[in-house]
Structure 1
């Protein structure tokens, strides 16, 4: 009988031990399921991403938004490991940045496409632009090229016919003798007190409270516009990260498409299903 009691005690101790181990294991599994992802964005995009934070929380993913006010820092922060992903650039910008910085940043999903617009404080129509007027365009190589192409679309200048990125040196015809000045993209909207017109990126215009309907010219979106689709990006070594892919999936929904339309007053279009 005493032997039986001893055996019972041993069994009870063993069961208690394994129960505690199992509970600890479950706790560790639960903790390991909670992932934190740091995403770098530009300006007013936070209003698009905030609803996604709540959605991902239910999946055990904590999305931390880090805001930037320039186009130069987010990729550096990504490569240094300060960020896990970012969402501020288009394919053209990413490829150019990789080339200039020997980077290995890649896209893991499309977000939206936003036409550049031309704004003015003094003109109601782009045809009113006078000879010798001052014109501001973004200065980073990708947007300088794009801004110049917008001016060409509008019939103001002619450019060299080449596929590589264009600069102001590639203007071949400037009948109005426009004084085209590249500025940091974030400053283009603020320059409107000093220039006749400015080519402004959509997120910059949004932050500066410029109404899309007040633009005097809008970039035409064609099949050639695909390189200007904005993306979620990460480093090449993380391109297959399952958690990052869940972030992209949570973004690419009809609810997000509606939010993009709402936040940007209909001026920006969800790109993952866009028909070019």
Structure 2
């Protein structure tokens, strides 16, 4: 009977020991929730795989318009987001008394003017209607784009110009401010629309066929997109790993291949 008992104990140890070792060898996964827009998961999924090897489970939370990700961040529903440029963030912080900060650059996406009714900017006629994003930074950016190509002039260039700041509007262009997500969808109803590149791609518009597009230069700096988080988390080691995993040569090649030049990797960009 004693021999049977000793044998039973020995077998129990042999069965339990491997399971204990297996449990001890497994890495505990820290979940980081990242807010993104639309189809940005095509860029983030490879980053997600890299981070998994480092013990971070990157959970991508997709939003449909620009008004959502910062609110979710403020409410601690997500840990960080990657959708906005610095000018948008600065305006958001001022308007909402928040303290969201940038922890790394991602991409630069020049905006463009698109149309289903004309094929050349010279075909714009008097009284043509143009849809523009209605959030302050992108609205001003859209008007500056039109000024850049000599269609009008705007005051308040140092701030965020609105249609009220437009002058020398020789074609008497009319403006329809819409949520940025709706500008591409308005193309059946307006002559042309200024569309942010991510929404243009979602709507199957080709940035290479835009009537006009932003120049990339020193004035582009405020429009470089960023990874952002609450100020209290800016030194979080896991978020730093997310930035490092994104800002790689592999990500750069993936961006260039996926978006065919429409998105420009911007963490090492040199502007003139």
Residues 151-166 of structure 1 mapped to structure 2, 5 A cutoff: 151-166=146-161
The Cα offsets for residues 181-221 of structure 1, whole Å up to 9 and x where unpaired, read as 11100000011101111100000001001011211111111
- Are residues 1:132 and 2:127 paired? yes
The residue that corresponds to 2:8 in the other structure is: none
Which of 75, 78, 87 pairs up with 2:73? 78
The residue that corresponds to 1:212 in the other structure is: 207
The residue that corresponds to 2:250 in the other structure is: 255
The residue that corresponds to 2:39 in the other structure is: 44
What TM-score comes out, normalization by structure 2 length?
0.90
Whole-Å Cα distance in 2 between the matches of residues 255 and 82 of structure 1? Answer: 29
Note the aligned Cα RMSD (angstroms): 1.7
Whole-Å Cα distance in 1 between the matches of residues 116 and 229 of structure 2? Answer: 38
Following superposition, the deviation at residue 30 of structure 1 comes to 4.0
Which of 156, 167, 170 pairs up with 1:172? 167
Q: What SS does the aligned partner of 1:83 have?
A: coil
The residue that corresponds to 1:265 in the other structure is: 260
Which of 134, 143, 149 pairs up with 2:144? 149
Following superposition, the deviation at residue 28 of structure 1 comes to 10
Whole-Å Cα distance in 2 between the matches of residues 27 and 141 of structure 1? Answer: 53
- Are residues 1:61 and 2:26 paired? no
Whole-Å Cα distance in 2 between the matches of residues 62 and 40 of structure 1? Answer: 14
Whole-Å Cα distance in 1 between the matches of residues 27 and 257 of structure 2? Answer: 36
Q: Give the number of equivalent residue pairs.
A: 253
Is the Cα–Cα contact under 8 Å of residues 212 and 265 in structure 1 kept in the other structure?
no
Whole-Å Cα distance in 2 between the matches of residues 29 and 107 of structure 1? Answer: 33
| Structure 2 gap ranges (5+) | 1-12
Following superposition, the deviation at residue 260 of structure 1 comes to 1.1
The Cα offsets for residues 7-38 of structure 1, whole Å up to 9 and x where unpaired, read as xxxxxxxxx9xxx9xx79x949943xx21100
Whole-Å Cα distance in 2 between the matches of residues 253 and 162 of structure 1? Answer: 35
Following superposition, the deviation at residue 49 of structure 1 comes to 0.5
Is the Cα–Cα contact under 8 Å of residues 106 and 239 in structure 1 kept in the other structure?
yes
| Structure 1 gap ranges (5+) | 1-15
The residue that corresponds to 1:202 in the other structure is: 197
Is the Cα–Cα contact under 8 Å of residues 86 and 234 in structure 1 kept in the other structure?
yes
Whole-Å Cα distance in 1 between the matches of residues 25 and 91 of structure 2? Answer: 43
